Amino acid sequence: RYLDVLLGSPGSSILFLIQAPLIAFCISLAFNGVGQATSTFHYVLIISAIWMGCVNACQEIVKERAIYQRERIFDLNILSYVYSKLKILSIFGFIQCLTLFLIVNHFIHLKGNIIFFFFTLFLACLGGITLGLILSALVNSPDKALMLAPVLTIPQIVFSELLIPEKYLTSTAGLVEKLMLSKWAQLALEEIAKNSPSYLEIVKDLSILLLFSVLYLTLTAFILKLTDRFAK
């Protein structure tokens, strides 16, 4: 049903898909003079993937809250409902990340295993999708969801060793940094780009990214369960 709704709104589907090429061309234009991938380049790609995922998902629950509440009366399973959102949004995210990757790879020399490189971007996007679903479950209007999306994505930028030297990322700031999707995606891409990468480290970083997505999805279902109680 969710896929039919999206396909029934071509404008939304086009907006979903047009983001990636526009972002990819901007990144390629900005880094074309560099000629090869750098830590900053990796970071920009990761933030772009997280942002696309979060923005795509942040309105997808709240905009049909009335339909959801009606279907819950007839025993709609919350996990199945959330999974249906994730499944379709993941397909769009996969297409977006593939588009982003192919365009950028055409202009900038990417180092390392391209399969792991792409998979890292996709898992970052997946994390952004699940973050967006949390937001969509919390707010009561689509406009609020869109306005609050930067609140979830800006910390991914701020809490980073690229902006704050590691020696200052201590205590609370260091803990928050470890909770950022961008940290683990960045570590994965940096390892992938090495001449002799440790695939054990790459798998560890990607596993942490995937774990965050599972936790965020579970939290989304928990929030929806709580809203059922308040609705009663």
Residue 89 has pLDDT above 60, yes or no: yes
Q: Is residue 25 exposed (0-12), middle (13-18) or buried (19+ Cβ within 10 Å)? A: middle
Task: Give the C-alpha distances (Å, rounded to integers) separating 196 from 42, 76, 78, 190, 202.
Answer: 18, 50, 44, 11, 12
- Per-residue confidence band for 186, with pLDDT thresholds at 50, 70 and 90: very high
d(CA 51, CA 128): 6
**Would you say how long the chain is, in residues?**
232
- Per-residue confidence band for 10, with pLDDT thresholds at 50, 70 and 90: low
Amino acid at 69: Q
The pLDDT assigned to 138 comes to 93
The pLDDT assigned to 159 comes to 86
The pLDDT assigned to 231 comes to 55
The pLDDT assigned to 64 comes to 87
The pLDDT assigned to 230 comes to 56
State mean pLDDT over 192-213.
95
Residue 121 has pLDDT above 90, yes or no: yes
- Per-residue confidence band for 12, with pLDDT thresholds at 50, 70 and 90: low
Structure tokens at 213: 């997505």
- Of the listed ranges 12-26, 122-136, 148-162, 209-223, the one predicted with least confidence: 12-26
Q: How does pLDDT run across 45-86, given as a tens digit for each residue?
A: 999 999 999 999 999 999 888 888 888 888 888 998 999 999
Structure tokens at 33: 């003079």
Residue 1 has pLDDT above 80, yes or no: no
The pLDDT assigned to 175 comes to 86
The pLDDT assigned to 129 comes to 97
**pTM for this predicted structure:** 0.90
Task: Give the C-alpha distances (Å, rounded to integers) separating 43 from 58, 163, 184.
Answer: 22, 11, 11
